[in-house]
Amino acid sequence: MKTPEAVETPATLEPVETAAPEPVEEVQPETAEGEPKEKQEKGNGPEKYYEAVGRRKEAVARVRVFTRKSTDMQVSDDKAIITVDGKPYYDYFKDPRLQIIVESPLRKLKSLNRFKATVKLSGGGIRGQADAIKLGLSRALVLFDANFSKKLRKSGYLTRDARVKERRKYGLKKARKAPQWAKR
């Protein structure tokens, strides 16, 4: 039996070579939960981050937490470095109470200027979005360091608030409000 690399043709008896297989690109396995992912940064290579999702009512927040570098923008000591949909969080949330909710996990850990975070928001109202960021930020910080979990869980920051609007039932105006009824 002849090998596939050298096949003889009856007329010329010259060996025919087959093409070598092309090199296959290496596919990197997806990172396991808790391992840092990488974001391509301009100039000095990829920047590592931890990603988590926070939800509240209809709001969904995708949060990425980076360790702060000395080259990052400087913000006053009482403000965190959190970007929400391309804006600083204090511009996105004008109400100071909502700003406190957003930065509360970092305040609890006393590391307001140690991290920077980027957030992508979708859905919900302004209050639900602030609570979604709080949960997503807390989850990402726990991925960064599991020792943060005890303090954040004790404060209630790692508990998903499952309260959502109740569905409307047939025969009623809203979830429980019945139409007006008079006997006479």
Residue 80 has pLDDT above 60, yes or no: yes
**Span 37-154: which CATH code?**
3.30.230.10
Report residue 106: phi and psi, to 5°: -70, -35
Q: List strand residue ranges (DSSP E) for 100-157, in order.
A: 115-122
**pLDDT tens digits, one per residue of 165-183:** 999 999 999 999 999 999 9
Length of the chain: 184
Cβ distance 57 to 126 under 8 Å? no
DSSP-derived secondary structure for 83-114: EETTEEHHHH--SHHHHHHHHHHHHHTT-TTT
The predicted-structure confidence for 4-17, as pLDDT tens digits, reads as follows 555 555 554 555 55
pLDDT at 27 over 90: no
From 141, 140, 142, 120, select the one nearest 129 (Cα to Cα).
120
Q: Is the pLDDT of residue 37 over 80?
A: no
Q: Where are the domains of the chain?
A: 37-154
